[in-house]
Structure 1
Amino acid sequence: MNVDLFDFDLPQDNIALRPASPRDSARMLVLDAAGMHDRIVTDLPASLRPGDLLVFNDTRVIPAQLEGIRGAAKVGATLHKREGPRRWRAFIRNAKRLRDGDTIDFGHGVTATAGDRGDDGSFALDFAGDEPVELLLERAGRMPLPPYIAAKRPTDARDADDYQTMFAQEPGAVAAPTAALHFTPALMAALDAAGIGDATLTLHVGAGTFLPVKADDTADHKMHAEWGRIDAATADRLNTVRAAGGRVIAVGTTSLRLIESACGDDNIIRPFDGDTAIFITPGYRFKGIDGLVTNFHLPRSTLFMLVSGLMGLERMQAAYAHAIAGGYRFYSYGDASLLLP
């Protein structure tokens, strides 16, 4: 499909620079068989059915942005995928100054050696020393806010909490599964009281999620791979819910992509442990999920293509036009949508 079909104009004022407070007070646009409804996130229990199951991503964002020096040149690095115990793939700012074998000093006793350069322009970085890389990043790194926020304001102490979900357990993401940022203990209690269950999986979100689609046609776009895991108990639970007539509702496109990666053509979700580079566009047949909670996404992005695949392009174009006109807040710290095809 032509990528231009997924373009739209978004006023800068619609881009959220801070999350709603409290988190579950954000607005929520519901699209279901009855139409389109303006709600707030605390309405979620009433918008679902007893027996439904919400699936959250329990990845934890690491301080994956680093500023360093190679010789006399300043170099910025954004880690995006672990390749080994001490090796990470990273996007490099000022990459023309970097060569295979160069050492970057990130300060605080943290150094890394540049390895091979990938087809996407990223470099492998091998971190020196014996300390776990996670400890090195805690010393030298900072929270990797999305570029559309970082371009408007600096990262600050609030972001260390704001950009982490209440489910964050497994360190490894360099971007938050932002749909889950709306959830609070009070909302989870209300969902439980309404008979709506929850489960978790892990997908370590990479910085590739923010990369623009440069191809003119979706068929020519290559997704970055991300590592994920669904254990056997979780897979069994999801299958049991669906067999009993409940719906599996993914919270975030990351949860959705991993479930779909783990689901066969027989609509059975299986345990999964490995990389996924699934790219979902209109025409895709969904096999493992029955709905999605997600934020509002960038024009021409793979995420807007995904929600258009779930709900239909014309319907999502109308929903986004409604959201923009109604002052909904977009992107990572923005408002939510509940999509029930």
Structure 2
Amino acid sequence: MDVSLFDFQLPEELIAQTPIADRSRARMMVLNRESGAIEHKHFTDLLSYLQAGDVLVLNDSRVRPARLLGIKAETGAQMEVLLLKPLGDDRWEALVKPAKRVKPGTVIHFGEGLLRAVAEATADMPGGWHFQLQYEAENLDHLLEELGEMPLPPYIRERLDDADRYQTVYARQIGSAAAPTAGLHFTPDILQQIEQKGVKIAPLTLHVGLGTFRPVTAGKVEEHTMHAEYYELGEESAAMIQEAQATGGRIIAVGTTSVRTLESVVQQRGKIEPSSGWTDIFIYPGYNFQAVDAMVTNFHLPRSSLLMLISAFASREHVLSAYQAAVEEQYRFFSFGDAMLIL
């Protein structure tokens, strides 16, 4: 399957650069995945599409402020390191800029030496390196809260004044390199109203890697390889989902990360049950969904694995037609953009 089948023209001015003042006032396109029919709503209308007995599945991963600006110890040159994935014993996979200035043994200082990164070897990605971190603080995450910045996607060029706007209100488990952005629209009030309607809320965790959001560079969809990401589905959430499946309730996943986690569990275990581990599941048209009945998502990049996933759920033709309508109606795209509900 040719990757160009998932391309579309997007005016640059529709790429949202800043979050709107009220999270919940984003627009929401509703797409019927069987007929392709669309409705133009607002996110606050989500409640009217949910029913008692449904389960809303949320990814509670929290973005780590892992973008570090430092200096090369040897020369004083400015460097940027983005921590991506822990490898154990304070070793990390990271992206570094400019990568050409790094070699094994290169030391980069952050916060006047409060944190040091020693380059060990290149990683299997452009600009990627494995670093050994050295610090005196008791807790690395607390140190990163002091020294690090939020790793916003490259298409966002505006400064984010409030870092919490790149976190969901229910973010708990720190570990993501990028936000599960479909959840950015929820507020505590909306979540309370959803529960009051008899809809159960089931959190899970998938720590999002940058590879999830990048365009697919292979010529053929089947040639693309996803980076592995860590997930956890706990006993309580698994039980909620099992009960809904047994009683006719729908499983509504918030975000492609929640979709990938649930489908990974079923693929690996044969059914929904408590589980944890690593997944590199790549969902594209032809995939048979076994866990998810509906999803809340944002509008995604052309040629991205996320666009391929929702095209597998609602058909490529319906999705690209809906995206064309979104462009014509001037919806806001990508991380700080508007929402889509696919039923």
TM-score by length of 1: 0.95
Residue in structure 1 matching 2:134, options 128, 138, 157: 128
- Show structure 2 runs of 5+ residues with no match: none
Matched, 1:11 2:18: no
Matched, 1:171 2:174: yes
Check whether the contact 1:63–1:141 (CA below 8 A) recurs between aligned residues.
Answer: yes
Partner of 2:111: 107
Change (3 A) 1:93 1:212: farther
Q: Deviations over 1:50-94 (max 9, x none)?
A: 211110011111111111222223221111112114122111111
Partner of 2:99: 95
Partner of 2:29: 29
Matched, 1:251 2:254: yes
Aligned-pair distance for 1:31? 1.0
Change (3 A) 1:86 1:31: same
Check whether the contact 2:207–2:230 (CA below 8 A) recurs between aligned residues.
Answer: yes
The CA distance in 1 between the partners of 2:129 and 2:277, in whole Å, is 21
Check whether the contact 2:215–2:302 (CA below 8 A) recurs between aligned residues.
Answer: no
Helix, strand or coil: the match of 1:299? coil
Aligned-pair distance for 1:21? 2.5
- Show structure 1 runs of 5+ residues with no match: none
The CA distance in 2 between the partners of 1:64 and 1:332, in whole Å, is 18
Change (3 A) 1:41 1:267: farther
Which amino acid counterpart does residue 7 of structure 1 have in structure 2? D
Q: Deviations over 1:94-131 (max 9, x none)?
A: 11111122111122421111122122231112110242
Which amino acid counterpart does residue 223 of structure 2 have in structure 1? D
Instruction: After superposing the two structures, state which structure 1 stretch, 324-333 or 62-71, moved more.
Output: 62-71
Change (3 A) 1:265 1:81: closer
5 Å-filtered alignment, 1:248-327, equals 248-264=251-267, 268-327=271-330
Check whether the contact 2:298–2:333 (CA below 8 A) recurs between aligned residues.
Answer: yes
Task: Give 4+ residue runs of structure 1 displaced > 6 Å after superposition.
Answer: none
Partner of 1:230: 233
Q: Deviations over 1:226-270 (max 9, x none)?
A: 111111232122111111100111101111111111014886212
Check whether the contact 2:213–2:305 (CA below 8 A) recurs between aligned residues.
Answer: no
The CA distance in 2 between the partners of 1:326 and 1:13, in whole Å, is 13
Which amino acid counterpart does residue 155 of structure 2 have in structure 1? Y
The CA distance in 1 between the partners of 2:50 and 2:236, in whole Å, is 24
Matched, 1:117 2:122: yes
Check whether the contact 1:127–1:133 (CA below 8 A) recurs between aligned residues.
Answer: no
Aligned residues: CA RMSD: 1.5
Identity of paired residues, percent?
A: 45
Check whether the contact 2:105–2:120 (CA below 8 A) recurs between aligned residues.
Answer: yes
Check whether the contact 2:200–2:240 (CA below 8 A) recurs between aligned residues.
Answer: no
5 Å-filtered alignment, 1:188-227, equals 188-227=191-230
Helix, strand or coil: the match of 1:83? strand
Change (3 A) 1:186 1:218: same
Instruction: After superposing the two structures, state which structure 1 stretch, 266-275 or 253-262, moved more.
Output: 266-275
Instruction: After superposing the two structures, state which structure 1 stretch, 81-90 or 195-204, moved more.
Output: 81-90
Helix, strand or coil: the match of 1:289? coil
Q: Deviations over 1:304-334 (max 9, x none)?
A: 0111011000000000000110011000000
The CA distance in 2 between the partners of 1:87 and 1:51, in whole Å, is 44
The CA distance in 2 between the partners of 1:138 and 1:85, in whole Å, is 20
Which amino acid counterpart does residue 254 of structure 1 have in structure 2? T
Check whether the contact 2:289–2:313 (CA below 8 A) recurs between aligned residues.
Answer: yes
Partner of 2:149: 142
TM-score by length of 2: 0.94
The CA distance in 2 between the partners of 1:325 and 1:277, in whole Å, is 34
